[in-house]
Amino acid sequence: MSAKKYLIVNADDFGQSPGINQGIIEAHEHGIVTSASLMTRWLGAGEAALYAKQHPTLSVGLHLDLGEWVYLGGNWKPVYIVVPMDDKEALEREVLHQLDSFRSLMGRDPIHINSHQGFHMREPVRSVALQIGERLGIPLRNMCPGINYFERFYGQTYDGMPLPSHLELDWLIDSLATLPAGLTVLVCHPGNANDLKTVYRKERAQELQVLCDPKLRTALADLGIKLCGFDNWRELANGSAQPVESRNS
């Protein structure tokens, strides 16, 4: 394994709303975001896809959207459900439908796959998503050997309580200093969510501010961390290639 450190900064929820799109675009053009995950079911998907096709330095994957839950009164309760999570056949149809939607919007296959609220980590979604990832030769978040994931840059706890310390610039820099050698994906959610009904609202603006802070780019350079996209992820994960240059490098 190479001793070098490579970092993909992947913004979730691309296409969910114009405000989310605006934040991700700003974080790509003025911050360190190098990748995004496209939600195909929302009204902002077309706008997001158009931007991505015009800016190929942003590597875009599929953000499967099967539902959303919120933690209230000690229990997880649904905000919306796209398809029953225990119906494998229905799940497979929906996942394939969203893959086809991505292809229609982008004119190509996704470059990686993940999911809203991480439901691809659970069966039966896991098996369906893994099969697609293997067929397309693309990574599925948290399921690909050789890729490390940093998912602690998030302003809430598991049960939805505020966690402001994890959105501080100094905390993020200190955390990135401990990254292992090889390829890491930093998961983030920048945006302006004023046009979206969500429990994760003000935190998105805070994420955006940190991701665009010039001190963060300087810190990455000082730490020897190279920004990149998913273009040649397999070689980077194996330590056998140089990254395809990102405009954010």
pLDDT at residue 244, as a whole number: 45
Express each pLDDT in 87-114 by its tens digit: 999 999 999 999 999 999 999 999 999 9
CB distance 208 to 31 below 8 Å: yes
Residue 228 CB partners (closer than 8 Å, separation 6+):
6, 7, 8, 34, 236, 243, 244, 245, 246, 249
Give the strand pairing for 59-64 and 113-115: parallel
Q: Measured over all CA atoms, what is the biggest interatomic distance in the chain, rounded to whole angstroms?
A: 49
Q: Locate 155 and state its tokens.
A: 């302003």
pLDDT at residue 245, as a whole number: 46
pLDDT at residue 91, as a whole number: 95
pLDDT at residue 232, as a whole number: 84
CB distance 227 to 248 below 8 Å: yes
CB distance 237 to 144 below 8 Å: yes
Amino acid occupying residue 7 = L
Residue 227: CB atoms within 10 A of its CB come to 22
What is the spatial distance between Cα 31 and Cα 49, in angstroms, rounded to a whole number?
20
What is the spatial distance between Cα 114 and Cα 95, in angstroms, rounded to a whole number?
11
Please give the model's pTM, rounded to 2 decimal places.
0.93
Between 120 and 242, the more confident residue is 120
Express each pLDDT in 198-209 by its tens digit: 889 999 999 999
pLDDT at residue 31, as a whole number: 98
pLDDT at residue 246, as a whole number: 45
Express each pLDDT in 39-54 by its tens digit: 999 999 999 999 999 9
pLDDT at residue 197, as a whole number: 84
CB distance 211 to 188 below 8 Å: yes
> Residue 85 pLDDT > 60, yes or no?
yes
Kind and range of the H or E run holding 103:
helix 88-106
What is the spatial distance between Cα 81 and Cα 105, in angstroms, rounded to a whole number?
23
| CATH value of 5-237 in 3.10.20.30, 3.30.450.20, 3.30.300.30, 3.20.20.370 | 3.20.20.370
> Residue 1 pLDDT > 50, yes or no?
no
Kind and range of the H or E run holding 63:
strand 59-64
Average pLDDT over residues 176-193: 96
> Residue 151 pLDDT > 50, yes or no?
yes
Per domain, the residue ranges of the chain are 5-237
Q: Residue 26: phi, psi to the nearest 5?
A: -60, -40
pLDDT at residue 239, as a whole number: 67
> Residue 118 pLDDT > 70, yes or no?
yes
